[in-house]
Amino acid sequence: MITAQDIAIHRAAPGTPATQAPAAAFAERLLLIVLYVTVLASSVAFIEPSPHDALIGVLAIICLIAGVRFERALVVPLLLLLVWNVAGMMSLLNVSAEEKAIQYTGTSIYLAIAALIFACLFARNTMPRLATMRAAYVLTAVMVALAGISGYFSLFPGAHDLFATNDRALGAFKDPNVFGPFMIWPALVVFERMLARRIRLTDVLIAGILLLGLLLSFSRGAWFHFAVSALVLAALTFLTAPSPSARMRVFSLTALCVVTLVALVMFLLSFSAIQQMFQERAHLINSYDVGPGGRFRLQELAVAALLKFPDGMGPFEFARLYGNQQHNVYLQAFLVYGWIGGASYILMVLSTLLVGLHTAWIATPWRPYLITAFAAFVGEVGEGFIVDTDHWRHFFLLLGIIWGLFAATTNYRHQTTSCFGVH
């Protein structure tokens, strides 16, 4: 939902044009509509290509019409994503011309373009575009969470077959391990609003729905991701609070949220079906993690394999040779994209973390968005050690948000300096 506060902040931001030509104003409204629909469709991921993929192409065209331009501050992600994808295309020489491998490489290219589109979008006219994206993401996350909940509890005929698998909620995703992390950023957005500003009943309901969906995904990686991201969010919100009273509010409400969350989990565990699945999943190490075909053994084999293939094995080759994926996105980067592609992916992740942390300390109208995106990104980077996240759409959205707000902050500081006559 776009609030009056968002609009007021946007109007107060330096460098925001007071009026627009009718054609430019229409193009901007059209851009916001397409952005909203594109993000709204991002939870529909059970088919390939998804509606979101097609809409990214439409969004790119509308960006050109609306005059969205590339910012110099985005040169670093552009170069790193370019190298990553060129290396990925070169790795196709190591595999037969299979449609699946070509589609994999095409998906990497599309996601890199999507990240750059979002970064360019949020670098200018920042607050209205962010508010539009947030409203669409929160709504689609709530809808897909409700779908997953309905599937888990079989609330209507056929719901379980559609929205749950193996007694795990997955909504409109193909994998519960992607469904769970998808809901973390919108949950953080709601929590940040409650911690730093005010508590509304609608926010409490939204948070409850998202967290229930997250729990019912029974994804250990998603649970870990949420715990890390929530901790980063609370710490940054506390440290960047404008006054001692604001910091005390953040501290006390964080403690209240933790107590409430623990109480909610204990209540849900009173249901035997949830308790049984929770006990099965809530182990640090499970049977499929160890042994000859386990996750950790595969990761050992992956390290040995990447040393043998400096130019990469190509998509799906490791799984073909060893029977399964290694479930580590950083090993995946080297195995599929080669040493150069893997190094560029690592540099992309590290540079995004550094830029996000640096930008979080600068007071801007959009700092709450930056903090929540950075917190979610940190958790997702950690989850990458046990899951392949290199084709998660929301990972690249977070990447685009962080770099776009870095560019917006760079512009904001230059404009503020100019307003005070400093050159």
Q: Does the structure show a pLDDT above 80 at 87?
A: yes
Residues whose CB is less than 8 angstroms from the CB of residue 357 and which lie 6 or more positions away in sequence, other chains included: 374
CA-based radius of gyration for the chain? 22
Does the residue 9 lie in any domain? no
Does the residue 356 lie in any domain? yes
- Beta carbons of 125 and 408 less than 8 angstroms apart: no
pTM: 0.89
Structure tokens at 258: 């933790």
Does the residue 172 lie in any domain? yes
Mean pLDDT of the chain: 87
Task: Please compute the mean of the pLDDT values over residues 315-321 and round it to a whole number.
Answer: 81
Query: Residue 213 CA to chain centroid, in angstroms?
Result: 16
Angle between helices 99-123 and 126-153 (to 10 degrees): 130
Angle between helices 393-419 and 99-123 (to 10 degrees): 20
Secondary structure (H, E, C), 286-339? CHHHCCCCCHHHHHHHHHHHHHHCCCCCCCCHHHHHHCCCCCCHHHHHHHHHHH
Q: 315: alpha, beta or left, given left = phi > 0 and alpha = psi -120 to 50?
A: beta
Q: Does the structure show a pLDDT above 80 at 56?
A: yes
Does the residue 365 lie in any domain? yes
Does the residue 194 lie in any domain? yes
Task: Please compute the mean of the pLDDT values over residues 291-298 and round it to a whole number.
Answer: 66
> What burial class does residue 158 get, using C-beta atoms within 10 Å of its C-beta: 0-12 exposed, 13-18 middle, 19+ buried?
exposed
Model pLDDT, residue 97: 63
What is the extent of the structural domain holding 246? 20-419
Does the residue 33 lie in any domain? yes
Does the residue 15 lie in any domain? no
Structure tokens at 44: 């529909």
- Beta carbons of 172 and 46 less than 8 angstroms apart: yes
Task: Please compute the mean of the pLDDT values over residues 66-74 and round it to a whole number.
Answer: 93
Least confident of 154-158, 200-204, 324-328: 324-328
pLDDT band at 261 (very low <50, low <70, confident <90, very high): confident
Which residue in 335, 342, 344 sits closest to 301, CA to CA? 335
What is the full DSSP assignment across 126-164? HHHHHHHHHHHHHHHHHHHHHHHHHHHHT-STTHHHHHE
Count of domains in the chain? 1
- Give me the half-sphere count of Cα atoms (radius 13 Å) on the Cβ side of residue 138: 22
Model pLDDT, residue 295: 65
Which residue in 402, 403, 400 sits closest to 114, CA to CA? 400
Does the residue 11 lie in any domain? no
Q: Does the structure show a pLDDT above 60 at 103?
A: yes
Q: What's the rounded Cα separation, in Å, for the pair 361 and 359? A: 5
Q: Which helix or strand (DSSP H or E) is residue 2 part of? A: none
pLDDT by residue (tens digit) across 374-410?
Answer: 999 999 999 999 888 988 999 999 999 999 999 999 9
pLDDT by residue (tens digit) across 271-294?
Answer: 777 777 777 666 656 555 555 556
Model pLDDT, residue 371: 97
